[in-house]
Amino acid sequence: MRIGICPGSFDPVTNGHIDIFERGSKLVDKLIVAVFSNPTKQPVFTMAEREEMLRETTKHIPNIEVASAEGLLNEYAMSHGATIIIRGLRALSDFEYEFQRALLMKQIEPAIETVFIMANTKYSYVSSTGIRELACFGGKLDGMVPDYVEQRLKTKFKDKYKV
């Protein structure tokens, strides 16, 4: 069985992420969407909230499993039998960063391959950081996040939106 992992902080999950999950899920028998904590980021949503939003927004993809994870990605991948890491790329700057990470991964765990999937152009400008900033100030989120996530953001920032 080919098992892949699509890791990220997903704070929050965007339509761009969902597109990568849909396309990536066709490359493996099982795709684990793993919510990792990032010590350099201050999340808006808890790990449990991010997992719940991912489960809700990916339930249409039959071979996806959502989980949270701590520690090193290579150790998590090996402990789950995964040999493929799936990463979405929006721009050249993403590629430079992800390319270095993929080379490091290959150095420490040669059995793991990294697969890059280019973002759909309609989502190439969407980032979780941008979404958080928009929501924080009550901005429009139309078409950038799943409806369920939009409602969760509007509830989280209820002082900025008329919910």
Domain containing 80 — which CATH number? 3.40.50.620
Q: Does 41 carry a binding-site annotation?
A: yes
For residue 16, tell me if it sits in a domain: yes
Is 113 exposed, middle or buried, given 0-12, 13-18 or 19+ CB atoms closer than 10 A?
A: middle
Closest by alpha carbon to 75, among 1, 2, 5? 5
Q: Does 10 carry a binding-site annotation?
A: yes
Interval 115-121 mean pLDDT: 95
For residue 18, tell me if it sits in a domain: yes
**Pick the catalytic residue: 25, 50, 128, 152?**
128
Q: Does 73 carry a binding-site annotation?
A: yes
Closest by alpha carbon to 43, among 123, 143, 155, 156? 156
For residue 22, how far is the Cα from the chain centroid?
12
Tally of structural domains, the chain: 1
Q: Does 123 carry a binding-site annotation?
A: yes
For residue 74, tell me if it sits in a domain: yes
Which residue segment(s) compose the domain that 24 sits in?
Answer: 3-124
The reported pTM is 0.92
Does the pLDDT of residue 89 top 80, yes or no? yes
User: Judging by DSSP bridges, how do beta strands 113-118 and 84-89 pair with one another?
Assistant: parallel
For residue 17, tell me if it sits in a domain: yes
For residue 131, tell me if it sits in a domain: no
For residue 130, tell me if it sits in a domain: no
Sequence length of the chain is: 163
**Is 162 known to be catalytic?**
no
**pLDDT band (50, 70, 90) for residue 163:** low
For residue 147, tell me if it sits in a domain: no
For residue 136, tell me if it sits in a domain: no
**Is 41 known to be catalytic?**
yes
**Pick the catalytic residue: 25, 50, 90, 152?**
90
**pLDDT band (50, 70, 90) for residue 162:** low
